[in-house]
Amino acid sequence: MFRTVVLHNIPMNHVAAMERWYFRDHEPEIARRYGPYLSRLESWFPVPAPPEADAFGRFNWRLTEGTWREIPMPGPQGQLSFTPPPVWPKAAFCVVSLDSVDDFMGWETLPREKNVLRWYVLMRYPEGVTFEQGENWFLNVHSKEILNQPKLTRFFSRKAVKPAPPLPGTWRPGDLEHMKKNAMPHWDRVVEFWYETFDDWRESVLTNPPSYTKPEWASSPQYPFFVPGQEWVSTFVLERPTDEFLRDSRVAYL
């Protein structure tokens, strides 16, 4: 089984139109066409984050995860093109396996013991850094130092599948160019850091962080050592999805 992960960033002036498109057009098209292949199709609307989060490549619109029993063949395959959005979002996306998780901290916590504020991150190692070099630092050095964040409650990560299987469906030729222009497909890991409050996140990340070992290949001089918005994008969501599109019968209009 695979999970597709998409983080979106939009001009928030258009959030009403984008929400209508997502409910009326895009997710119903995916759910109707690929429901037999999907076990879950869930989406989270990000919680409002403090201004300091913008320095960490914060994406401001939906995080959507699709959990696939198998991913069907790409292309139209007897279907029409996807309905284009009113504005094209910047979309960071990858595919991860459900079976391989590097679980570093917090698994023993019972579900009702702590609040859950998820800092959801996509990261990729800088150009010129081999995957093996990046993984050696992340797994053998950085992950151990992250455990010293004072208010961190949960920490785990999945590697992106490479090469990623092509996604099903198709866009019209002109729309495809817009989609490709705004797509950010090349990622190495999906990482989750959990806290109970934004104050806990601030203390752990900004005001009282542990001492980190900066890799020699760092593309940014300070934590997280990646260029925000290019090599590190993130959002904040809660534990429960805002929408479950395989089960949601609501329509866009009142």
C-alpha 8/C-alpha 59 separation (Å) is 6
C-alpha 231/C-alpha 89 separation (Å) is 18
DSSP 8-class letter at 18: H
Q: What's the angle, vertex CA 109, arms to CA 114 and CA 213, rounded to 5?
A: 90
Rg (CA), the chain: 18
Q: Please state the pTM of the whole predicted model.
A: 0.96
**How many other β-carbons are positioned within 10 Å of the β-carbon of residue 117?**
20
Give the pLDDT confidence score for residue 254 in this predicted structure.
Answer: 54
Token pair recorded at residue 174: 């002109």
Beta strands in the chain (DSSP E): 2-9, 38-44, 63-68, 90-97, 102-105, 117-123, 154-159, 183-184, 189-195, 232-238, 243-244
Token pair recorded at residue 212: 């980190």
Give the pLDDT confidence score for residue 74 in this predicted structure.
Answer: 92
Give the pLDDT confidence score for residue 253 in this predicted structure.
Answer: 63
Task: Write the single-letter amino acid at 126.
Answer: P
φ/ψ of residue 117, rounded to 5: -115, 110
Give the pLDDT confidence score for residue 68 in this predicted structure.
Answer: 97
Mind listing the pLDDT tens digit of every residue in the chain (254 residues)? 999 999 999 999 999 999 999 999 999 999 999 999 999 999 999 999 999 999 999 999 999 999 999 999 999 999 999 999 999 999 999 999 988 899 999 999 999 999 999 999 999 999 999 999 999 999 999 999 999 999 999 999 999 999 989 889 999 999 999 999 999 999 999 999 999 999 999 999 999 999 999 999 999 999 999 999 999 999 999 999 999 999 987 766 65
